[in-house]
Amino acid sequence: MTAYRLTADEQGKTHLEPYDLFDWPFENGPGDFKGVGGVVMGDASRVMLMRFEVGARPGFHRAVPSFGVVVSGAIVVSDSAGQSVTLEVGDAIRVETTGRGGWRLGNRGDEMALLALVQMPPKQAPAAEPQPDTTSQE
């Protein structure tokens, strides 16, 4: 299985890079589950199954933080710099962009393709702790 990561820089330009899913800190379970590890890759907010007909190549659009796995066919993913990768069945991509980053998805294959995409809300900055009221009410 091959995996990639799509990130965006401060200007919103996106970049594709190989991604090793085994680098995540997996937690092992107790008893019969010893050796079976799980990892939380983000808080899911929406799950989509995207269908791409043969020859489909929609325009460039905003990429939202998500995790995708190809379940049928092959999907071509392009970043805003023009780099492309082809994801085959079982391959994955983790999308780590802000509202400015974009991508293009398409199907250059000869069969319909399906992409399971789990959208995740972007990481929020920690809320500032309330400051004590130092004004005097005399």
Residue 130, in any domain of the structure: no
At 41 the pLDDT is: 73
pLDDT value at residue 99: 67
Task: Name, in order, each residue with C-beta under 8 angstroms of 6's C-beta and a sequence gap of 6 or more.
Answer: 14, 15, 16, 63, 77, 79, 93, 94, 95, 96, 97, 101, 103
pTM listed for this prediction = 0.72
| Tokens encoding 124 | 């929020």
Q: Could you list the mean pLDDT of each consecutive 10-residue stretch along the chain, which spans 138 residues? A: 87 90 75 69 82 88 89 93 94 85 89 91 65 60
In a domain, 74, yes or no: yes
Is 74 in contact with 109 (CB distance < 8 Å)? yes
Residue 36 gets the label, from left (phi > 0), alpha (psi -120 to 50) or beta, of beta
Residue 135 in any domain: the answer is no
Query: 125 lies in a domain?
Result: no
Amino acid 93: pLDDT: 94
Do the domain assignments include residue 28?
Answer: no
Distances in Å between the Cα of 40 and the Cα atoms of 3, 14, 29, 124 are: 16, 24, 14, 17
pLDDT of residue 38: 73
75-79: strand order across its sheet: 61-62, 102-106, 75-79, 84-87
- Can you tell me the distance from the alpha carbon of 87 to that of 90, in angstroms, rounded to the nearest whole number? 8
What is the model's pLDDT at position 48?
Answer: 86
Containing domain of residue 12, as a range? 3-22+41-119
pLDDT of residue 76: 95
User: Domain containing 9 — which CATH number?
Assistant: 2.60.120.10
Task: Please tell me the predicted confidence (pLDDT) of residue 59.
Answer: 82
Sequence-distant (≥ 6) Cβ neighbours of residue 39 within 8 angstroms: 24, 25, 26, 27
**95 in any annotated domain:** yes
Domains: count for the chain: 1
In-domain check, residue 49: yes
